[in-house]
Structure 1
Amino acid sequence: MNRASSTAPTAPGRDEMRDERGVVAGVCWLIGWVTAIIAVVVTSASAASAIKLAGVPDPGWITTYGLPVVTGVGQLSAAVALGTAVFAAFFVPAQADGIFDIGGYRAMRISAVASLIWGVCGLLGVPLAISDVSGESFAEAITPANLTNAYGQVAGAQTWLWTAIFALLAAVLARVVWRWGWSIGVIVLVTLSLMPSALAGHSSSGGDHDLATNSLILHIVGAAVWMGGLFAVVAYALAHGRWRVLAVRRFSRVAFWCILVVGASGVINALTRAPIGDLLDTTYGRLILWKVAAFLVLGGLGAWHRRRTIAALEATADDAADPAGTGRSWRTSLFVRFGIVELIVFAATFGLAAGLSRTPPPPVDTASISPVELKIGYLITEPPTFARIMFDWRFDLIFGTLAIVLAVVYLRGVVRLRRRGDQWPIGRTVAWILGCALLLFATSSGLGRYSPAMFSIHMISHMMMSMMVPVLLVLGGPVTLALRALAPAGKGNPAGPREWILAGIHSPWGRIVTHPGVAAVIFVGSFYVLYLGGLFETVIDYHAAHLAMNLHFLVSGYVFYWLTIGIDPAPRQVSPVAKLGIVWGSLPFHAFFGVALMMTGSVIAEQYYRSLMLPWRYDLFDDQRIGGGIAWAAGEIPLVVIMLALLVQWQRSDERAARRYDRQADRDHDADLEGYNEMLKSLNDGPR
């Protein structure tokens, strides 16, 4: 990577760097205290009523106010950890050898410290949660005997421990990594550390908890990337980082989408927990209105930031008439000052959210909620029919949104190619759009609605997600489209999306997951582990398990068919004959799984399905046998598609080989044919 730049600022000296680190540390302390103070103030407004509703003795002020402080400061730290890891991965370029430059290295060190703080907060949350539920003081709850006895009975303690585990793993990885690719692992671990809190709390219980939980996942992750990314960019600008203009431009694009995600998911989550009529009449509703106000302030600051301070900072990229750097320093300081103001508002918002999590929502008449609604989040009053499967929709905020986003992004790539005058096969576009439509149908139609309630419907959805949707998506050739539609960064320029895709394809991890044995074992073997190994009945009660299963079906199927159909560039090149062998070798195991499922002598997850108490009668064992038959027959459909795709590839491969031979013959005037004829002539003229 070319390190020379006429507009790059002079590297700061040691004293200046020490001052910058002091300012960053001071900002961290400031926003941490703001979060803690707001969390305490908000909690004090509803602490008495929360204790009364819980029906337990007062656990003392340490627990009452310590839990929201730990929640607020911890989630603020998680946002910083996630934002700085994203910054190191995508906002500033690494060096040519893949090692972080100074900006990325410092960001990862900040991510390590923030993850460590998040992990410590998670560990503190375990005894605090036990104290809160039991009514014991914090000093009693933290004793080893109480921790051991109560941990398995308090869901909040388990939530905090899983949070701590993921956060501490992220801290260790962020501290030891030096290369760009490993920053993706830190991003994944920090994101996973946010999931336990997103899947617990007010949103995980009562009616519509599927919508509430999914919206909270989007809300928390979007807010963390938004706030953490801003912190990382401000810290980088404060250090006069070389690529600060590029970093700000990239963050600005990401922040725009984060605002949309946070706003939409926040509205959905609020409406599922508090009806509009309760927003003014309850403490919970009024806190929601305060959060809305904070969001509007942040959105306004972001818009103003984008128009004024970011525009001024971007002007430094073309400011060649200021050799002393006075204008650049003023514009950078303006961006930093207003960035710090925005971070303070963010900190207050995180404190408000922490206090809101400790505030009882409006009371719900639980007697009117049916068992099936308590389990899956919504009512099912009638058995499935073709009409209900087709038209009784309930939008899945995670996978339904994913299907729409994938379709829109793909079509944008096609439009970009056509505007440039390039062609793109219409068949690939049709395949991709059909795959997205099928993903939307499998998760958001009546099929997705009945899937958690009946095993046979679940199996239809499973087969679509693992067999049919991935085949269509792979046939769409999204990687090839992206590599053609995205402009290369150019020699000496910072890497962009196109280079990130190529780096992922050629990474060691890409070669591992696309190894034929690994891909086939994960794809087929997971059926046996999930359904015949007892895992399904262990995890089916949890909403997180449904999300994880859908994600696993989709990703494992995509990787398998990416390898066996192979339209896109892949880490491994496999011949059509080998692809056919992989498919035929996997089929018997898939077919045997369906047969084994039909022949199982007991009902899988029987206790869960009976607890739903559906208002119509059906035989669970017969329903399971139908599910096994669906699994057995479902493998035939993608097999036909794969066979056709491989035949087409084989034909095109022969045609390419024939064209190469013809071009070679034109260049050497059929030298190979002439040589062959001479050989035959010599054999004919030889001694008899």
Structure 2
Amino acid sequence: MASETVSDSTAPEARTRSSAVGVLVVTAGVLAALVAAALTALSASDAYAAYGLPDPGPVTRFGLPVVRVIAESGAVVCIGSLLLAAFGIPAKRSGALAADGYAAVRAAGWAAAVWFVGAVLMVAFTAADASGRPVHEVLDTEVLFGLVDALEEAKAWGLTALIAFVLALACRVVLTWGWTTVLFGGSLAGLFPVIATGHSATGGAHDIATNSLLFHLFGAALWVGGLVALLAHAVRGGAHLGLVARRYSAIALVCWIAMAASGVINSLVRVPLDQLFSTTYGVLVTLKVLALVALGGFGYFQRQRAVRDIDRGSGALVRLGAVELLVMFATIGIAVALGRTPPPAELGPVPSKTELLVGYPLEAPPTLFRLLFDVRFDLVYGTLAIALAVLYLVGVRRLRARGDKWPVGRTAAWLCGCATILVATSAGVGKYAPAVFSVHMGQHMLMSMLAPPLLVLGGPTSLALRVLKPAGKGRPPGAREWLLAFLHSPLTRLLTNPFIALALFVGSFYALYFSGLFDVALTQHWAHLAMNAHFLLVGYVFYWPVIGVDPAPKPLPSLGKVGLVFASMPFHAFFGIALMMSATVIGQNFYRSLELPWMTDLLADQRLGGGLAWASGEVPLIVVMLALLIQWSRADTRAARRMDRKADADGDAELTAYNAMLRQMAEQDSPRKG
């Protein structure tokens, strides 16, 4: 009864604290909306004139940035709350969410509802803005659907609204840590449709601009949303506040570095240095950079001080975090205004068709030298390859520092796999792949059939489990426990099922290239990113149970491993032959529209790509068989050593017993012969 009395008495106080955080977030959102509207007033008229569009009126002109601030505020709070629930607040050992985690998920649900409303309004405002009409004129269903069908950005906001709606519903029913991590991934996916449209997705160098925007917006969402969730957790008087604050501080530092680097890269693509202070866009970029620099330094040092003083109470953290939050939302307002301002690069000379469709010119045909050394760094996969190599080497170094050994062959295999990804995406192969089918097929083979077997031979999860320290009994789970939970999750067991892995590995060839899906994907940069991710992941889950050093959730016997590899070979061979025999050019309209003077015979290029697919099917067989032979040899050696150690320990009792049995059988047979 006493505990119930305490709970009842503290409930109003907890609600009051939560309301205070809500008021703070609303205040910050209003500040962001005012900043966005004020700065938009300086550039909106110029934007309509620059693009030759009629002015849709003040409601649409000023309402659009305000509505976008509402949508983005809901998005960052939703993402930050789910981040807190999934990786900040420790879940129970049973996998159920703790009370604080459940509160964060419920907050994410309300934020997702705000995100949904803002995204729905953005559909109408975007349609009105693009058509030069007041927003009330496009609210007719037939008119709105017609405009949305013609506007990629309006479609993107519609898809975002659908994702936010699903998140809002799911957050009402989720009670476990595993599903919370799924919702967190879904919330990040909700940012992607809008990233794929707008300034960064059009014009020259849109590949670099879009990739940098991915880092920038994801970093901003985790940084800003994470701070909101941390303040809410502190105001609620949540458990493990020091641990949660330290985890957020580490994430915030990484996000700030990613935002700073990607923001500089994106700005250099959109505004020349000599126009940084002479154009409205350049001034807004400068303001945003200054705000980010101030936030990075101020936020880091104040969080460090607050974390040190966390045992004295959460007051310091809340006070300092509130100031940082207001500046963060003001920065969001600047970013929204920046999105409403035409970049100088878009108002310059009209890019060629190749630059518009691919992002950069291709003036010469691909040669072996250009495929290897004509570098165009891929910010997503190039960064991924370098980061994976560095993290692996750091892990190996830590093992050796404490006196443990790690096989050199595994390190070499992992680094070769990372190098393969780097060459496939950031060398000339990656540069020519979007425009030349045969080069694309070569990239496909590298990403799905060469890099994955090398990576699984590196044993990354075994290395991580040896490097990461266990949380210990009674302590909150950490990175090692999260990794183990993922390895034992139903999703991992499903994907590494031999039949599922085989179907994904070989079936995706036919589903992508013979269904018309590839033709649609060719025009979208985000689709190229998704294809490379798919190639790499399905290759990894296929080769993991076959030759992987890490124990697979569903181990295969030796004959099963060989059989799985041989079962995939006919499908690869038939796919390559089908490409070579086909009289229809896949992606013909897109490749013709590039107007590359040195690409005249598309069918011959497709046949070359089919030949690469057919011939490359032998490469994984060689790698797999060589790896299996080495693994079998080492297994036999280990078994022989175990038998020798056992014999030394028990005086070879097993062999002595076996010889005694043979003598006994011989003695029993002797009287019969006599």
TM-score range, shorter chain: over 0.9
Instruction: Name the residue aligned to 1:547.
Output: 529
SS in 1 for 2:583: coil
Deviation string, structure 1 residues 538-581 (Cα, Å, up to 9, x no partner): 11100011000011011111111112113102221222221111
Measure how far apart 1:598 and its partner are. Answer: 0.8
Instruction: Name the residue aligned to 1:446.
Output: 428
1:559-638 residue pairs with structure 2 within 5 A?
559-638=541-620
Instruction: Give the Cα–Cα distance (whole angstroms) in 1 for the partners of residues 418 and 320 of structure 2.
Output: 41
Cα 1:686–1:223 change in 2 (3 A) is farther
Measure how far apart 1:53 and its partner are. Answer: 2.8
SS in 2 for 1:572: coil
Greater alpha carbon shift after TM alignment, 92-101 vs 616-625: 616-625
Q: Does 2:292 align with 1:295?
A: yes
Instruction: Give the Cα–Cα distance (whole angstroms) in 1 for the partners of residues 641 and 668 of structure 2.
Output: 30
The residue type equivalent to 1:34 in the other structure is: L
Instruction: Name the residue aligned to 1:237.
Output: 234
Cα 1:532–1:680 change in 2 (3 A) is farther
Q: Of residues 55, 69, 73 in structure 2, which corresponds to 1:72?
A: 69
The residue type equivalent to 2:41 in the other structure is: S
Instruction: Name the residue aligned to 1:472.
Output: 454
Measure how far apart 1:11 and its partner are. Answer: 11
The residue type equivalent to 1:157 in the other structure is: A
Q: Does 2:257 align with 1:260?
A: yes
The residue type equivalent to 1:173 in the other structure is: A
Instruction: Give the Cα–Cα distance (whole angstroms) in 2 for the partners of residues 45 and 451 of structure 1.
Output: 41
Measure how far apart 1:140 and its partner are. Answer: 1.8
Q: Of residues 553, 558, 571 in structure 1, which corresponds to 2:540?
A: 558
Greater alpha carbon shift after TM alignment, 542-551 vs 108-117: 108-117
Cα 1:380–1:679 change in 2 (3 A) is farther
CA contact under 8 A between 2:18 and 2:235: conserved in structure 1?
A: no
SS in 1 for 2:658: helix
TM-score, structure 1 normalization: 0.94
SS in 2 for 1:541: coil
Instruction: Name the residue aligned to 1:323.
Output: none
CA contact under 8 A between 1:576 and 1:649: conserved in structure 2?
A: no
1:130-141 residue pairs with structure 2 within 5 A?
130-141=127-138
CA contact under 8 A between 2:65 and 2:336: conserved in structure 1?
A: yes
TM-score, structure 2 normalization: 0.95
Deviation string, structure 1 residues 504-545 (Cα, Å, up to 9, x no partner): 111111111111111111111000011112110111100011
1:242-641 residue pairs with structure 2 within 5 A?
242-313=239-310, 316=311, 328-329=312-313, 332-362=314-344, 364=346, 367-641=349-623
1:20-31 residue pairs with structure 2 within 5 A?
20-31=17-28
Instruction: Name the residue aligned to 2:3.
Output: none
Unaligned runs of 5+ in 1: 1-8, 317-327
SS in 1 for 2:363: coil
The residue type equivalent to 2:560 in the other structure is: A
CA contact under 8 A between 1:587 and 1:635: conserved in structure 2?
A: yes
Instruction: Give the Cα–Cα distance (whole angstroms) in 1 for the partners of residues 119 and 667 of structure 2.
Output: 85
The residue type equivalent to 1:456 in the other structure is: S
CA contact under 8 A between 1:530 and 1:536: conserved in structure 2?
A: yes
Q: Does 2:165 align with 1:168?
A: yes
Greater alpha carbon shift after TM alignment, 64-73 vs 365-374: 365-374
Cα 1:629–1:230 change in 2 (3 A) is same
Question: What is the aligned residue count?
Answer: 665
Instruction: Give the Cα–Cα distance (whole angstroms) in 2 for the partners of residues 281 and 43 of structure 1.
Output: 17
Instruction: Give the Cα–Cα distance (whole angstroms) in 2 for the partners of residues 547 and 617 of structure 1.
Output: 24
The residue type equivalent to 1:192 in the other structure is: A
The residue type equivalent to 1:681 in the other structure is: A
Deviation string, structure 1 residues 136-162 (Cα, Å, up to 9, x no partner): 221121111112222211222101111
Cα 1:663–1:593 change in 2 (3 A) is same
Instruction: Give the Cα–Cα distance (whole angstroms) in 2 for the partners of residues 370 and 601 of structure 1.
Output: 30
Cα 1:152–1:661 change in 2 (3 A) is same
The residue type equivalent to 2:183 in the other structure is: V
Instruction: Give the Cα–Cα distance (whole angstroms) in 1 for the partners of residues 521 and 662 of structure 2.
Output: 71
The residue type equivalent to 1:160 in the other structure is: W
Q: Of residues 55, 77, 81 in structure 1, which corresponds to 2:78?
A: 81
Measure how far apart 1:372 and its partner are. Answer: 0.7
CA contact under 8 A between 2:303 and 2:317: conserved in structure 1?
A: no
The residue type equivalent to 1:147 in the other structure is: L
CA contact under 8 A between 2:272 and 2:345: conserved in structure 1?
A: no
The residue type equivalent to 2:53 in the other structure is: V
Instruction: Give the Cα–Cα distance (whole angstroms) in 2 for the partners of residues 247 and 367 of structure 1.
Output: 50
